Chain A
């Protein structure tokens, strides 16, 4: 009996539909993506029922982590030709008489970076950690995180850098909204202090960043 031969098939698979689909997905992701910003600290935000979304431009974000360290971030605003971040850093340099003055490269690098939590003395190191002189006491000073171990100083009244950051930020971008991203476990008095400083600079509206957690309350829940 002759064997029944299966028709010979090419081992190649036609990948065209797959490639089509992949290109579609890739295009979609490339167009919709907004990169998750790198954050200096892990913050576990409290939850609320609010469904309002934070705006992604023109916003200054104050981050407070669980042990009360404060980080600050402001974007360059809608009109990027104004170089708001660079202006703010320049103003801070004048305020604190930073020597030598920041170079153009340093200012540009600063405006491209995000959230920071350093004192003004070491912000140069934060901008370019690889250029910071290494000492025997601190051999690890080549990582950005090494410079923001304490957050922005705001605890004692003599060193009130945070206040000046806010003041200058308000000066160069008065339209920016304020978002506070606090860790649920942080002390309210830290947040209150921040709110106080902001109110001194005429900010009375705050966006507290929260997780969405729905709550269902019906009429029957009203006690008789």
Chain B
């Protein structure tokens, strides 16, 4: 790497040779500039796009759908969460109707891990277990094969004698599974979704209802209908529907935005299938006033 330095003192009378330049370029200014540019780009770049939490609000009642009845929720499934100032959370089950006293008692809780989350998990045990199991089965080593069946396929399966694809250590093979594998539960579930359950509580949530159906349908897809394990399961164990809570979130005027986001986040954490942020009623405001401090 040694540089050859041209001897300048040549013979005086000889030919004038052009001065030979080194073939190397001084890269220092270039490196300087690049450093600057890299620093600039590193500092200004926004690597992570902001994360968003999507929430669909119940559609407002409009003149044109005045005649459409709002979907009704069974009283027993309803869990009301009331939010108020200084991050306090109250909840009660069922319906607060001034016409039918006594009013349900408010229970005070908070946003901690053992607060409202415990309540929600307790109420949503069924669905939550199912979803966690499903996640474990696809992320863990144990891979189950689920078969999605709708009514149109039923005759086909009946004809094929309920054959099932089974994988084992020796390789995969089609095996015949004796007995009727497709039960009427699937149909029952579909019916359950279509008919509006009888109830006493009316909440305007036309937009929400749609979403709810979609979500429940996907749960019924998760439900392994033709699965060897299914045989050992009880029939009612196959219906996760109709047991989870329907959470109504209500906030008074003093609530901070953080609390609303927190409670919606809890819904996502606990896999609550149906929830809506709705207006607080005057009776509930009254209840909050007399609530335990």
Contacts and interface: CB of A to CB of B under 8 A. Distances in A.
Interface string A208-219: 111110010111
B41 A29 contact: yes
Interface string B1-31: 1110000000000000000000010011011
A200 B121 contact: no
B121 A223 contact: yes
A85 to B, nearest CB: 21
Interface in B74-131: 113, 117-118, 121-122, 125, 128-129
A19 B25 CA distance: 12
A181 B253 CA distance: 19
B31 to A, nearest CB: 6
B214 to A, nearest CB: 13
B147 interface: no
A37 B37 CA distance: 19
Interface stretch (A43-51, A98-106, A114-122): A43-51
A223 B121 CA distance: 7
Interface residues of A, number: 65
Contacts of B125: 222
A209 B70 CA distance: 30
Given A54-B49, A188-B259, A223-B121, A205 B54 contact: yes
Contact of B257 (A49, A182, A218): A182
Interface stretch (B152-160, B229-237, B262-270): B262-270
B60 A10 contact: no
Interface in B26-45: 27-28, 30-31, 34-35, 37-38, 41-42, 44-45
Interface string A42-84: 0001111111111010000000100000000000000000000
A8 B5 CA distance: 13
A206 interface: yes
B118 A223 contact: yes
A161 interface: no
A26 B49 CA distance: 21
Contacts of A195: 57
A215 B269 contact: yes
A185 B86 CA distance: 11
A34 B122 CA distance: 44
B132 A34 contact: no
A208 B52 contact: yes
A33 B41 contact: yes
A189 B253 contact: yes
B1 A211 contact: no
A25 B57 contact: no
Interface of A: 8-10, 12, 14-16, 18-19, 22-23, 25-26, 29-30, 32-37, 45-54, 56, 64, 179, 181-192, 195, 199-200, 204-212, 215, 217-219, 221-223
8 contacts: A15-B31, A25-B38, A33-B45, A184-B258, A187-B255, A208-B52, A217-B117, A217-B270
Given A23-B34, A217-B121, 20 more contacts: A12-B3, A12-B24, A16-B27, A26-B38, A45-B50, A48-B268, A50-B265, A50-B268, A52-B53, A54-B51, A54-B52, A182-B257, A184-B261, A187-B254, A190-B257, A199-B57, A204-B58, A208-B53, A218-B132, A221-B118
For the complex of A and B, list the 8 residue pairs with the smallest distance between their C-beta atoms, beginning with the closest. A29-B41, A207-B52, A184-B258, A36-B46, A50-B53, A46-B261, A48-B265, A22-B34
